Amino acid sequence: MKKILIILIIGLMLAGCVDATRHMSSFNMTGAIGMDGKPLQGLPSPVNQGDAISKAVTDAMNASIAGFVSNPLVSDLNASSKNITNLNTIGFDASGPDIDLNGRKFTDAANGTAATDPMTMQQGWDKINESGVVSGQTPTEGNSLYYDTAWLPGPGTAGVVTVGPYKYYDIFVDESSTDEGHVFTDAINLLMTRTSNRGGEIRIGPCKIDCTDSPQIYLNHTSAHGAPLSIIGSGVGGSTSEGTMIVSPHGIMIGEFAFGGVGRGVRLENFYLYGDPASPANIGIDCNSTQCCVELNRLLIRYFAVGVDMRDPGVYNQRFQDVDIQDCTTGGFCFYGNNNVLDHVKTGYGTTYDLTDYGIWLSGSHNIGMALDVAHANNGLVLGTAPDGGARGNIIMSCWSEPCTTERNVSIIYGQSNTIHFFGCDNTKPYGRMYVTGDHNDIDLHWDSLNSFTNITFSSSAYYNNLHMYPYHQSSSRGVVTDNSVNQLDYGNPMRTDHPFAGYWYRGAHVVNKNVAAGGSPGWYCVASGSPGTWKAEAVVAG
């Protein structure tokens, strides 16, 4: 009886050991203690887990390791044919049937780069090979793959459709085809079906979508009105390995998805839109919605007649950020609207074409431009339209004007009450002219070098404009001002100990005597323009 009792106690102890290992939540197969830093439940402390599991497997149960590991970490794993080095990295060889990682199997070593290569569990879940996905399994929602700046959830994720060159994606891109315009129609249709016409996101992996032989890409749907749409690529690099490249010589037309409001409209982000380098034509991005609510972010647009045109029906309360327009032939960025922000918009660069018309053409009210960069355009920055102006209360905080090979119009200002701050030029080539026909504008032309514009002209209809002057950056041939009306040349009321002896000063300039005293002159006036001009002291201050 005593022997029977001892046997029962030993059996219960073994059973407790087995039960303890069966209910572990996390552990390291190489030994030591659990991943949570605590000893195994029901075993003395400290305990070497490797020894405990080995004893449980060999002496108690004589079963596979998989029998003691809770899903979904590892299941159906045969200890005799597979070698586990630790739970986070699994090394496998070509022998044995398979490794099952939460339902995703590697049937042989061909699923990895080599038979002995380690593969993390996350890589095992998400790895894509040339034939599509791991053993043809479809990743589930929340099991995502990260490419550059775009997370690409698998099929079934609410509000998201993925596009790319593998079967892993919702919409497959055939990179060998030049007629892939259907990709966008297919993606939009699937998105609207998946979300019951509520819109959402289309995320594009690194690839080339060639629409050369397709019509213009039209972002529209029968139920698009009021539904938001975002198209997010994986980068703006010049090759598919660096991001998403959309080849579309006919450009992109935005439809009724752009009918916006708070939380609605269209957002295009993070891709390279490529036109026709041999014969640029058409508009890169256009909109024909009844209301245009569009945001552009991190885009490279190249080889079109016009890069972006949002004049009709106009765009409101939107942001255009990090948009680079290159090698277009007519215009860069053009829009009409109110309360928009242009942040780091760059036009006119490239290696092949100059802009025969405008770099940036802004018509509307209360827009803000920051760090604008215009080059190689016959009319660099244009505010408003003739004859009524059309640009009011806009603020251009910084606009860099690059050299042109011939003298051109760096800026034309038709509107009223705008604030424009130009900054730049490198003193190597002529920078062209500025025409001002509006009124009550504040214009600051502050350059790094000793050159400004060739000519600054105020028309007869321009009045009460304020032009900030920098006499040491001007000469009789550079920065010449022609004032045909009533405007102010603002020298900032400088304070000196004597009148100027250098720089180009216009008649009417005034300098304050910083050491004025009773019986002395309070300052000097320029009575004849020149370098430095003719100066006369003011009447003395009473003693």
Render pLDDT for 165-185 as a digit per residue (tens, 0 to 9). 987 889 999 999 999 999 999
> In the beta sheet, which residues pair with residue 413?
383, 436
At residue 92 the predicted structure's pLDDT band, cuts being 50, 70 and 90, is very low
Cβ burial of 239 (10 Å; 0-12, 13-18, 19+) is exposed
Give the pLDDT confidence score for residue 150 in this predicted structure. Answer: 40
Give the pLDDT confidence score for residue 28 in this predicted structure. Answer: 37
**What tens digit of pLDDT does each residue of 278-304 get?**
999 999 999 998 888 999 999 999 999
Residue 255 pLDDT greater than 90, yes or no: yes
At residue 428 the predicted structure's pLDDT band, cuts being 50, 70 and 90, is low
Residue 479 pLDDT greater than 70, yes or no: yes
Write b or e for each residue in 421-437: b if 16 or more Cβ atoms lie within 10 A of its Cβ, otherwise e: bbbbbeeeebbbbbbbb
Residue 327 pLDDT greater than 60, yes or no: yes
At residue 123 the predicted structure's pLDDT band, cuts being 50, 70 and 90, is very low
R_g of the chain, CA atoms, integer Å: 35
At residue 536 the predicted structure's pLDDT band, cuts being 50, 70 and 90, is very high
Residue whose token pair is 């040349």: 489
> Mean pLDDT across the stretch 233-248?
80
Closest CA to 235 of 226, 245, 227, 221: 245
Most confident listed range (26-35, 305-314, 430-439): 305-314
Residue 84 pLDDT greater than 60, yes or no: no
Give the pLDDT confidence score for residue 447 in this predicted structure. Answer: 59
At residue 250 the predicted structure's pLDDT band, cuts being 50, 70 and 90, is very high
Q: How many degrees, rounded to 5, is the angle at CA 124 between CA 123 and CA 127?
A: 65
> Mean pLDDT across the stretch 346-362?
88
> Mean pLDDT across the stretch 413-437?
75
At residue 126 the predicted structure's pLDDT band, cuts being 50, 70 and 90, is very low
Give the pLDDT confidence score for residue 43 in this predicted structure. Answer: 43
**What tens digit of pLDDT does each residue of 184-218 get?**
999 999 999 999 999 999 999 999 999 999 999 99
Give the pLDDT confidence score for residue 406 in this predicted structure. Answer: 63
Most confident listed range (44-53, 82-91, 182-191, 409-418): 182-191
Q: What is the mean pLDDT of the chain?
A: 74
Residue 276 pLDDT greater than 90, yes or no: yes
The CA distance from 377 to 360, in Å, is 9
Give the pLDDT confidence score for residue 44 in this predicted structure. Answer: 44
Give the pLDDT confidence score for residue 421 in this predicted structure. Answer: 85
Give the pLDDT confidence score for residue 423 in this predicted structure. Answer: 67
> Mean pLDDT across the stretch 58-76?
38
The secondary element (H helix, E strand) that includes residue 125 is helix 121-126
Residues of the chain with pLDDT > 90, as a percent, come to 36
> Is-contact 384 438, C-beta < 8 A?
yes
Give the pLDDT confidence score for residue 535 in this predicted structure. Answer: 96
Give the pLDDT confidence score for residue 88 in this predicted structure. Answer: 41
Most confident listed range (308-317, 320-329, 381-390): 320-329
Cβ burial of 159 (10 Å; 0-12, 13-18, 19+) is middle
At residue 262 the predicted structure's pLDDT band, cuts being 50, 70 and 90, is low
At residue 246 the predicted structure's pLDDT band, cuts being 50, 70 and 90, is very high
Give the pLDDT confidence score for residue 405 in this predicted structure. Answer: 59
Most confident listed range (51-55, 308-312, 336-340, 509-513): 509-513
At residue 74 the predicted structure's pLDDT band, cuts being 50, 70 and 90, is very low
The CA distance from 508 to 529, in Å, is 8
- Higher-confidence residue of 148 and 272: namely 272
- Higher-confidence residue of 33 and 257: namely 257
Q: Determine how many CB atoms are found less than 10 A away from the CB of residue 492.
A: 8
Give the pLDDT confidence score for residue 60 in this predicted structure. Answer: 41
> Mean pLDDT across the stretch 124-128?
41
Cβ burial of 468 (10 Å; 0-12, 13-18, 19+) is middle
Give the pLDDT confidence score for residue 316 in this predicted structure. Answer: 83
- Higher-confidence residue of 302 and 98: namely 302
- Higher-confidence residue of 318 and 92: namely 318
Residue 119 pLDDT greater than 70, yes or no: no
Residue 273 pLDDT greater than 90, yes or no: yes
Give the pLDDT confidence score for residue 157 in this predicted structure. Answer: 56
**What tens digit of pLDDT does each residue of 458-473 get?**
988 898 999 888 787 7
CA 409 to chain CA mean position, Å = 30
Residue 223 pLDDT greater than 80, yes or no: yes
